[in-house]
Amino acid sequence: MTFANKTIVLTGASAGIGQSLALRLAEQGANLVLAARNQAALEQTAQACMKAGGKAIAVATNVAQPEDCQQLIDKTIATFGQLDILVNNAGISMITNFEQVTDLSIFEQIMQVNYLGAVYCTHFALPYLKANRGLLVSISSLCGKTAVPTRSGYVASKHAMQGFFDTLRIELQGSGVDVLVISPGFVATDIRERALGADGSALGQSPRNESQGTMSVDECVRQIIGAMERRKREHIMTLKGKLIPWGKLIAPGIVDRLAAYAARIKPADHP
């Protein structure tokens, strides 16, 4: 699959993986519809995409609101007349032990953005994707494959995403629409700085050592584009991630210990 003149809706496009992915797709001549809540940051990404050789519009969108998601798809069709690819990338995280949570609304927020936001966008986009035998992409996480301590709400939302898109893939057999689930590990973005803490406020800084075991955004985007080009059904980015399903069958206790080690926080951050 090539992306020249393809119309691509990309959520979470104002920063991180979404912003870098938009720029790489623009270099290939894509028509981009960029969605996120921050209009100013979106406009900057759109300008950079146009300079890179693509066409782009910025549509301020809160994916947790179905009306916003419908408006996003409506503006896509009104502007470009078609929809070839939807990339569900918007996401938020949490980092705290469950027993320390004082604001239970963080679980609802995370599920609304990570899971229901993808459901809403997919619902409104699907008729147009079917018309063009398009591609449906979900940027999930290794957290959609296994448990990770201090991320209970995030893990639950990514498990929900995985189950939803796996089911949709089966339902869409014969429609011409392919469903791709991407599962990165730790990537060098600010998602952990923006993660919600026990009281529902953003942490402000990552509690893990980001110099270890963290993939660059460029490498992550390179792998995403490669998987999209091949219209794969699934792409797991790390060797450890690929071994997780087998490890959970053979030695689940070891997988739990590895997950705890990978998610460890810096000693100074322990109470």
Maximum distance among all Cα pairs of the chain, rounded to whole angstroms? 55
CA-based Rg of the chain, rounded to a whole angstrom?
A: 18
**Closest listed residue to residue 53, CA positions, set 88, 25, 95, 19:** 25
Contacts of 174 (CB under 8 A, 6+ apart): none
Determine which one of 115, 128, 154, 261 is catalytic.
154
SS3 at position 62: coil
120 within 8 A of 66, measured Cβ to Cβ: yes
Query: Is position 154 annotated as part of the catalytic site?
Result: yes
- DSSP string computed for 134-146: -EEEEE--GGGTS
Separation CA 46–CA 77 (nearest Å): 17
Strand duo 234-236 + 7-11: pairing: unpaired
Catalytic annotation, residues? 154
